[in-house]
């Protein structure tokens, strides 16, 4: 099982870092490196359920890490201007290689305390409205929008409903579809339900190799169809929620390769790949008119299921 | 609530309603006022001028993107049972002489859930109306995205919302009537993007289902939570309209909007003359 390999590799990695920092025995370091490589070779193709495990891994890079490493001069923007700040959406303005961009994403925490604060990356309507405010502002100033998707879904709470969760999501879908600046989305962890899509109506959607993207969490899927949330493993196999499946459908435009056992084992590799993709994509959109950018996005979602029709 | 049975038991007051009572009162209980389920076809009949409705077709082949076991059989048996092609009945009809594209979701069709076919039908409804310069009236009734079609169901939320946005940018009028139940991926997409939002009394309307919310917050929900009246109170519905009044209200809204159009034109003519 992936969990075992992940933990073993992580333990070796931690030990090597410790030794390197404290001028430890070079023989031991070499031994550990060899052990690491041998173990790494035992990695098989992950099952969808294993990918779900990696997608939800507590050490997996979170939105703040993506923003801090890939962008410069980040200025965080808070509040929906309607009475609330929702910390489960994190974002603002930053520079990407000198170009101003709006960057935002679902915010998951690195520990329980943070997760409580950020509501485990499950926004209420206020979070979605904040995101839309940032995106409309990006349109005003001609900034590309870059989003990072990582959420178990929109928050199913009393207050969220009272404040119009449905309306907030639908508003984002509609407005994003016509935004006159390019939108590039990265599904980095789990992308579940309308809560993920509400910042995902992008010109280009990329997905990390072990990320998952689905109509609902596998637990929710199993509950609705079989009235049994414990059958989530079975749901994973059926739902076609991996990057490979979604690429096959044409729902996503590219897959970002991850290091052995997931992005958290060597996040820099992933940051570099995202950097490369952004450079390529932003260059492409620079040559396009605002109207054509919006049209391209409209067409993409208008024909999002075309590949399945032709099968 | 099965219309083929001789008697329908009202889920509100348990009164037994005969077929003719159901017909006469448009499936609303005459004793307690509860709005019971009405078929898509009967719904259309209850609002359009007699004989004015022309069904629109939208060719969507059967698709089973998840290869979900038993899905094809389920869909073909539902087609047979409901006489519908999929979860939406749509076409062009007239309400007191005013044309509109009318789309009615059928909760008989897998809870009115939105898969590729439903998404395509709703999108086509908006595109047709856009081309012909007609308003759109949608009766929403849905449990949300259709799980059996996986991610492509989710994508219908973006597809339909984009279609509404484009239609709206071209100046089209969209009236949504939220009926029981309107939840999940439908309430969080085209159903809540209308210019005028109506709802039927007592309809359950929300993003997350009440049971999921109760489980998440660990407490019982207050009486009437997520009901149409609750949404109206919170500012998400223009008016709650009883079924017997729906045709009149729709007719009035259509009238108000074509008058506005004409007046605008008149005003422009007036200004032009004024400038000379
Ligand atoms: Zn009754």
Q: Do A282 and A221 have their domain in common?
A: yes
The 3-state DSSP composition of chain A as helix, strand, coil percent (nearest 5) reads 55, 15, 30
Where in the sequence is the domain holding B3, given as residue range(s)? 1-36
Q: Do B133 and B30 have their domain in common?
A: no
The predicted-structure confidence for A234-286, as pLDDT tens digits, reads as follows: 999 999 999 999 999 999 999 999 999 999 999 999 999 999 999 999 999 99
A273: which residues sit within 8 A by CB, 6+ positions away?
A256, A257
Q: Do B102 and B138 have their domain in common?
A: yes
Q: Do A90 and A29 have their domain in common?
A: no
- Per-residue pLDDT for B2 more than 80? no
Q: Do B205 and B123 have their domain in common?
A: yes
The predicted-structure confidence for B84-101, as pLDDT tens digits, reads as follows: 999 999 999 999 999 999
* Residue of B147, B148, B161 with shortest CB distance to A174: B161
Q: Do A82 and A230 have their domain in common?
A: yes
Q: State percent of chain B over pLDDT 90.
A: 89
Q: Do B24 and B98 have their domain in common?
A: no
Q: Do A176 and A186 have their domain in common?
A: yes
B42: which residues sit within 8 A by CB, 6+ positions away?
B26, B27
Closest CA to B63 of B90, B86, B36, B45: B86
CA–centroid distance, B32 to ligand 1, in Å, is 4
Q: Do A23 and A83 have their domain in common?
A: no
Sign, CA dihedral B129-B130-B131-B132, equals positive
Q: Do B28 and B162 have their domain in common?
A: no
Q: Do B207 and B138 have their domain in common?
A: yes
Q: Do B65 and A240 touch (CB under 8 A)?
A: yes
Distance of residue A259 Cα from the nearest chain B Cα, in angstroms: 26
Number of structural domains (chain B) is 2
Q: Which residues of A touch B119 (CB under 8 A)?
A: 305
Q: Do A249 and B68 touch (CB under 8 A)?
A: no
The predicted-structure confidence for A167-176, as pLDDT tens digits, reads as follows: 999 999 999 9
pTM: 0.95
CA–centroid distance, B33 to ligand 1, in Å, is 6
Q: Do A301 and B119 touch (CB under 8 A)?
A: no
Q: Do B126 and B200 have their domain in common?
A: yes
Q: Do B111 and B218 have their domain in common?
A: yes
Cβ pair A301, B159 in contact under 8 A: yes
Q: Do B67 and B98 have their domain in common?
A: yes
β-sheet bridge partners, residue B92: B54, B101
Assign residue A278 the CATH number of its domain.
Answer: 3.90.226.10
Q: Do A25 and A108 have their domain in common?
A: no
Q: Do A66 and A139 have their domain in common?
A: yes
Q: Is B189 on the interface with A (CB under 8 A)?
A: yes
Q: Which residues of B touch A156 (CB under 8 A)?
A: 207-209, 212-213, 216
- Per-residue pLDDT for B262 more than 70? no
Q: Do B201 and B244 have their domain in common?
A: yes
Q: Which residues of A touch B150 (CB under 8 A)?
A: 214-215, 239-241
Assign residue B207 the CATH number of its domain.
Answer: 3.90.226.10
ipTM of the complex: 0.96
Q: Do A134 and A23 have their domain in common?
A: no
Distance of residue B59 Cα from the nearest chain A Cα, in angstroms: 11
Q: Do A147 and A230 have their domain in common?
A: yes
- Per-residue pLDDT for B3 more than 90? no
Q: Do A4 and A140 have their domain in common?
A: no
* Residue of A164, A171, A302 with shortest CB distance to B159: A302
Query: What is the reported pLDDT for B267?
Result: 62
Q: Do B146 and B211 have their domain in common?
A: yes
Number of structural domains (chain A) is 2
Instruction: Work out the pLDDT band at B259, boundaries 50, 70, 90.
Output: low
Size of interface A-B (CB pairs under 8 A): 171
Q: Do B29 and B42 have their domain in common?
A: no
* Residue of B120, B154, B235 with shortest CB distance to A215: B154
Q: Do A196 and A175 have their domain in common?
A: yes
Among A30-44, A51-65, A68-82, B162-176, which stretch is predicted with the lowest mean pLDDT? A30-44
Q: Which residues of B touch A239 (CB under 8 A)?
A: 66, 150-151
Query: What is the reported pLDDT for A49?
Result: 96
Where in the sequence is the domain holding A13, given as residue range(s)? 1-43
Query: What is the reported pLDDT for A311?
Result: 67
- Per-residue pLDDT for B181 more than 50? yes
Query: What is the reported pLDDT for A310?
Result: 78
* Residue of B152, B168, B191 with shortest CB distance to A308: B152
Q: Do A174 and B193 touch (CB under 8 A)?
A: yes
Q: Do A233 and A113 have their domain in common?
A: yes
Q: Which residues of A touch B195 (CB under 8 A)?
A: none
The predicted-structure confidence for B110-119, as pLDDT tens digits, reads as follows: 999 999 999 9
Instruction: Work out the pLDDT band at B276, boundaries 50, 70, 90.
Output: very low
Q: Do B158 and A304 touch (CB under 8 A)?
A: yes
Chain B residue with CA closest to A224: the answer is B147
Cβ pair B231, B180 in contact under 8 A: no
Q: Do B66 and A301 touch (CB under 8 A)?
A: no
């Amino acid at each position: 099982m992936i969990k075992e390999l992940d933990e073993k590799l992580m333990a070796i990695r931690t030990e090597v870092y410790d030794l390197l920092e404290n001028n430890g025995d070079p023989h031991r370091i070499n031994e550990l490196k060899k052990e690491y490589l041998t173990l790494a070779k035992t990695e098989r193709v992950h099952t969808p359920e294993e990918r779900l495990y990696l997608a939800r891994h507590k050490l997996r890079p979170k939105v703040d890490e993506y923003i801090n490493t890939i962008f410069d001069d980040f200025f965080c923007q808070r509040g929906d201007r309607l009475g609330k700040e929702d910390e489960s959406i994190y974002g603002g303005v930053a520079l990407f290689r000198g170009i101003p961009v709006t960057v935002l994403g679902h915010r998951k925490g690195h520990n329980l305390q943070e997760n409580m604060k950020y509501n485990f990356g499950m926004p209420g309507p206020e979070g979605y409205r904040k995101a839309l405010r940032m995106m409309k502002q990006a349109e005003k100033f001609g900034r590309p929008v870059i989003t990072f998707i990582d959420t178990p879904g929109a928050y199913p709470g009393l207050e969220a409903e009272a404040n119009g969760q449905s309306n907030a999501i639908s508003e984002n879908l509609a407005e994003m579809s016509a935004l006159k600046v390019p939108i590039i989305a990265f599904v980095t962890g789990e992308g579940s339900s309308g809560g993920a899509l509400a910042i995902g109506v992008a010109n280009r959607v990329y997905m990390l190799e072990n990320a998952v993207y689905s109509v609902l969490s596998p637990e929710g899927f199993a509950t609705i169809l079989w009235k049994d949330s414990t059958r989530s493993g079975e749901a994973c196999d059926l739902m076609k929620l991996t990057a490979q499946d979604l690429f096959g459908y044409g729902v996503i435009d590219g897959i970002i390769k991850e290091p052995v056992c997931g992005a958290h084992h060597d996040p820099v590799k992933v940051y570099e790949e995202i950097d490369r993709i952004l450079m390529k994509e932003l260059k492409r959109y620079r040559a396009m008119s605002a109207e054509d950018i919006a049209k391209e996005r409209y067409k993409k979602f208008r024909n999002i299921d075309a590949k399945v029709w032709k099968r | 609530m099965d219309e083929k049975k001789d008697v329908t038991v009202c889920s509100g007051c348990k009164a037994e309603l005969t077929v003719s009572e159901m017909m006469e009162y448009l499936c609303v209980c005459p004793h307690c006022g509860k709005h019971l389920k009405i078929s898509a076809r009967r719904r259309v009949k209850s609002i359009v001028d007699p004989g004015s409705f022309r069904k629109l077709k939208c060719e969507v082949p059967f698709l089973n993107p998840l290869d979900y076991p038993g899905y094809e059989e389920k869909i073909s048996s539902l087609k047979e049972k409901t006489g519908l092609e999929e979860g939406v009945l749509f076409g062009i009809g007239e309400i007191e002489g005013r044309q509109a594209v009318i789309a009615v979701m059928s909760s008989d069709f897998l809870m009115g859930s939105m898969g590729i076919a439903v998404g395509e039908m709703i999108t086509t409804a908006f595109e047709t109306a856009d081309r012909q310069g007609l308003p759109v009236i949608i009766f929403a009734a849905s449990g949300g995205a259709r799980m059996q079609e996986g991610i492509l169901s989710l994508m219908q939320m973006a597809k339909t919302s984009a279609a509404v946005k484009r239609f709206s940018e071209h100046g089209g009028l969209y009236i949504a009537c939220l009926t029981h139940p309107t939840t999940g991926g439908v309430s969080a997409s085209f159903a809540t993007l209308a210019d005028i939002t109506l709802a039927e009394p007592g309809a359950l309307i929300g993003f997350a289902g009440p049971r999921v919310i109760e489980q998440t917050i660990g407490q019982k929900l207050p009486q009437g939570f997520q009901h149409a009246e609750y949404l109206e109170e919170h500012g998400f519905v223009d008016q709650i309209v009883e079924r017997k009044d729906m045709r009149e209200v729709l007719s009035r809204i259509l009238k108000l909007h074509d008058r506005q159009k004409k007046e605008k034109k008149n005003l422009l003519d007036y200004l032009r003359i004024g400038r000379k």
